Structure 1
């Protein structure tokens, strides 16, 4: 394997795009299958797709991707499914943070990087339908490479059977790579998606990993792919079941308050948000995860 890993980068980037296409088609299919209730606007029920661009400090092209956002649907109030492949040179702050967290030596001498991934956040119309987040990614520098990602469920009205299904589906996919993965990645998610200033988790958890590099690229890529493959079978049945339930004004109010938790976490703690903004990626794409409406008590 060469130090540049060009073939591996291309395979990873192509996979994230393939997963994006599957999810976009599935989500538009949910809108097609939900034929009650008015659409908020003429474009509702379909993703609006726009190109994103990262610009380096010297103004040169540094990659980009696609931002796909659906607003005002019958099922999804706002959902974004973004992919990107970006590259360039890490700034001093990003270098120091990454070197310290990952124990990488020599980054200042060659601070090049390449990163590709998919990121998804869905905020639902019906408060009984859980919000959800998913991402998978690959990161490369001349000194190290790694995978990361996961998915977590964020219901404002919790159903134990929905939580059990979400976790069981992820476990089933991870167990193909060894029974040790699910307990570790579940614990990692519980720690990562905790909101210290609120003293609580932002949802009911899921799976999460970062810094995944066993020096077996094929094995780590396969694990990352199954994290992505687990998403639709874990999430879609919950939406199919809950989207037809009636809700009250109190239910909607609970949803808006819970969205406040989600916004707080993403703006204060989420490493992906911080990295995207610090490295010059399209701010609208980075902040796509924020809900359309939220409230605080």
Structure 2
């Protein structure tokens, strides 16, 4: 059983890395193909890639990953695409949180964990082009394993057609796994990406799941892969359509204020942010989701 799970962990980590490579190539392709419209005469952006390492409390190796960030491109003002594979033992606080949420009282006796995933956040130059978030991950403990993740669209200037396209692409990739998956994961996203202190959603939704385990690893991994595969078809056509639109100073102000909502959510509520910081991962990698410029009034 251990050997089989080790092979599954390796398979999941390799998939997240493959998805990362495909997205990085696609985003640099968007930079290269931006031939008309605002900033088309600027230099095409490129990702800067940095290895990240995580150390356990005793200083021993505890995994790491790749942080890939593009800043100041023609299309992307800031975008990060990170992959990681980390392991070790959970802190007392993380153990307690996981035991409460997952019903795993044995965590205190054996707090080992392993986690791998991809995390992406894109903040755009053009206020008409939507910001976006995507992540998928696998988590393992000796007591249970599960998958999580999804993607959601965060436009500061909303277009109904863009929202419809984004959701249709998600649905098309989920329907082969069962007709009930899309409505369930859409509702899950609506609940998760909600900002209680603002009494509003942070964007126009998407799909999301957490602590997902049916007991069939192959089926759950296949679903997780298709959540990842849905991302580029859902997002890239929107960028290609909106990156050529002219914008005003007022449009940028709307964008900056909307980014403030995004920052508030990530710092106050996001589970991934909290987990990354609590387990000692590189804070620059954990916080790469924050926008380069945001405003509050």
Measured against the shorter chain, the TM-score band is over 0.9
Q: Which runs of 4+ in 1 moved over 4 A?
A: none
Q: Distance in 2 between matches of 1:112 and 1:164?
A: 42
Aligned to 2:183: 183
Cα drift, residue 35 of structure 1: 3.1
CA distance, structure 2, for counterparts of residue 143 and residue 122 of structure 1 = 35
Q: 1:8 — aligned with what?
A: 8
Q: In the TM superposition, what are the counterparts of 1:179-218 in structure 2 within 5 Å?
A: 179-218=179-218
Q: Secondary structure at the match of 2:132?
A: strand
Distance 2:237 2:47 in 1: 21
Q: Residue 28 of structure 1 aligns with which residue?
A: 28
- RMSD over aligned CA atoms reads 1.2
Give CA deviations for 1:179-204 in whole Å, capped at 9, x if unaligned: 00000100000000000000000000
Runs of 5+ consecutive residues of structure 2 not aligned to the other structure: none
2:137 matches 1:137: yes
Output the CA distance in 2 between the equivalents of 1:4 and 1:264: 41
In the alignment, the residues of structure 1 paired with residue 192 and residue 4 of structure 2 have an alpha-carbon distance, to the nearest angstrom, of 30
> Which residue of the partner structure matches residue 257 of structure 2?
257
In the TM superposition, what is the alpha-carbon distance from 1:22 to its structure 2 partner? 0.2
Per the alignment, residue 155 of structure 1 pairs with: 155
CA distance in 1, matches of 2:255, 2:275: 28
* Further displaced range: 50-59 or 117-126: 50-59
Measured after TM superposition, the shift of residue 58 of structure 1 is 1.0
- Could you list the runs of 5+ residues in structure 1 that have no partner in the other structure? none
1:1-297 equivalent positions in 2, closer than 5 A: 1-2=1-2, 5-36=5-36, 37=39, 45-297=45-297
Kept in 2, the 8 Å contact 1:128–1:242? The answer is yes
Contact 2:34 2:40 (C-alpha < 8 Å) held by counterparts: no
Distance in 2 of aligned mates of 1:16 and 1:125: 27
- Seen in structure 2, the aligned counterparts of structure 1 residues 130 and 291 have a Cα distance that, compared at 3 Å, is same
Q: TM (normalized to structure 2)?
A: 0.97
- CA distance in structure 1 between the partners assigned to 2:30 and 2:271 by the alignment: 31
How far does residue 241 in structure 1 lie from its aligned partner after superposition? 0.3
Do the aligned partners of 1:189 and 1:207 also contact (CA within 8 Å) in 2? yes
